[in-house]
Structure 1
């Protein structure tokens, strides 16, 4: 069964300004990679808007309202922090990115598809319940996980994150709830400064920090020896991937030394665990990745692994 691809043109309308690494060209590069002949048969759907009810399972209502009310006119922009900026298209893009994650859960949990990939932006894993940060506005993976529980009755949901930056927002949303699981490999020290191995939540948080300069062997060992066994022990009914590709050696925002084969390997390994514990049900959400060539190539091998694993 081919994975479903969800995206929306509105995600190109979010623009944080000239020179910002989280730019519309990221999504263009991803979608161009997915136009290759080998992906031409994949089903594609437009991402819907997330609803207030879906977002408010993670974010307080006043926070959701505040983010959606920021709609500058023309070329104006509003900075929520030094890195996280909204223009006239940002709120709509954020709604579509979170909505894609919810729709992907519906498609996979409903049995129509076994896998889904959300080619959307802005990313989400830094957005804490009451704070936008790190290029992120809504915690897309956490919103998807809570939707799986509330609507589909999936009691235990896991998010696994191989972005080079720690997913502090996902961790903050999960750390007091043992029905949710979060595992992350990431460079440390690096933004946002969280993600020490000692951060365990209620026993449901598993962090594997990697030193600057760590290569694919160290990355794979962290997953094979620590994170994947913890995922299998948790035995979720659904696995959600925060698929960031900024641990690539070409990426300008960090210093890990991964290559495309490392992303293919971890995607396949996650799918193998999902095959044993939850009938292979996997939803993947695009997070970081700021070298356009590396992002495109890494996304392609990731989606290929979702297809073949």
Structure 2
């Protein structure tokens, strides 16, 4: 068995204005950090409209397509921008997750990491936000359920910002369990422990500003026990690296070793639950050095688990 790296150069074609934190350099640094690792490198395909409709209505897909500028950049909200290459990048971000699900569930690889941008976990049913256009992790989960016939898929998110989009898209989906840790209070303002999903299928782990490794590990140790008891047939990770103490957009104090710890704990749980079937997709991380170190640690553990 092995670990797949699923990516595409179109990720570099999603251009944001100078000074924007979600920038091309993020992808360059993330890929450079793992360039020497023995990964099975696979090109991310474009998700079709039908595949995007697993989570988003066609009118929303059409609206994003229609908003793509022919040159320069266009602003969708205070944080989210489009450039001529954005639709290609976003389709491949979603499509990369589908390719990863196919490869893992068919037994071609043990696990997979999708290195694409823009990220996806803030995109709601018909609302792009927080740098995100399509709900990559949620689409991958629905694809595993509908195309591969799974009965239980867990989605976990350790980005510092709450995955409001993933929660929104999976709120009514009883076949999924969504577990997310996030700094609170912090944008987007969701992620309270009282938000539990229509089927008690959401578990939020709010973390106080200034908290660090001890608080994170305690919260996730309990959460992983709940996930394991639910016995997911596939684990999907929204891997954000902006809870690091050096990240400029938040105030948690994780260190690089925390990403190694949480990845190892999640992979061990997946091994016990389903033989180690894990798909991970890149979300945030805006200090380039911290992002590089976090991605490296995360993928090294995926390789360790996939061997």
TM-score tier, shorter chain, comes to: over 0.9
TM-score computed with the length of structure 1 as normaliser? 0.97
Pair 1:48-2:16 in alignment: no
Structure 1 segment 1-309 matched on structure 2, within 5 A: 1-36=1-36, 39=37, 41-75=38-72, 77-201=73-197, 202-225=199-222, 227-309=223-305
Structure 1 alignment gaps of length 5 or more: none
What CA distance in whole angstroms lies between the structure 2 residues aligned with 1:183 and 1:87? Answer: 32
Aligned to 1:152, the other structure's residue is in SS state coil
Structure 2 alignment gaps of length 5 or more: none
Give the CA deviation at 1:144: 0.3
**CA distances 1:156-189 after superposition (whole Å, capped 9, x unpaired):** 1110000000000000111112111100111000
Over 6 Å off, 4+ runs:
none
What CA distance in whole angstroms lies between the structure 2 residues aligned with 1:279 and 1:153? Answer: 17
Number of aligned residue pairs: give it. Answer: 304
Aligned to 1:22, the other structure's residue is in SS state coil
Give the CA deviation at 1:74: 2.2
Q: Cα RMSD (Å) of the superposition? A: 0.8
TM-score computed with the length of structure 2 as normaliser? 0.98
Give the CA deviation at 1:79: 1.1
What CA distance in whole angstroms lies between the structure 1 residues aligned with 2:44 and 2:275? Answer: 24
Give the CA deviation at 1:288: 0.2
What CA distance in whole angstroms lies between the structure 2 residues aligned with 1:69 and 1:278? Answer: 41
Give the CA deviation at 1:70: 2.3
Give the CA deviation at 1:151: 1.1
What CA distance in whole angstroms lies between the structure 2 residues aligned with 1:16 and 1:30? Answer: 17
Q: Which moved more, 1:171-180 or 1:248-257?
A: 171-180
Q: Is the 8 A contact 1:70 1:91 kept in 2?
A: no
What CA distance in whole angstroms lies between the structure 2 residues aligned with 1:235 and 1:171? Answer: 20
**CA distances 1:82-115 after superposition (whole Å, capped 9, x unpaired):** 1001011111110010010110001001110110
Aligned to 2:123, the other structure's residue is in SS state coil
What CA distance in whole angstroms lies between the structure 2 residues aligned with 1:297 and 1:81? Answer: 30
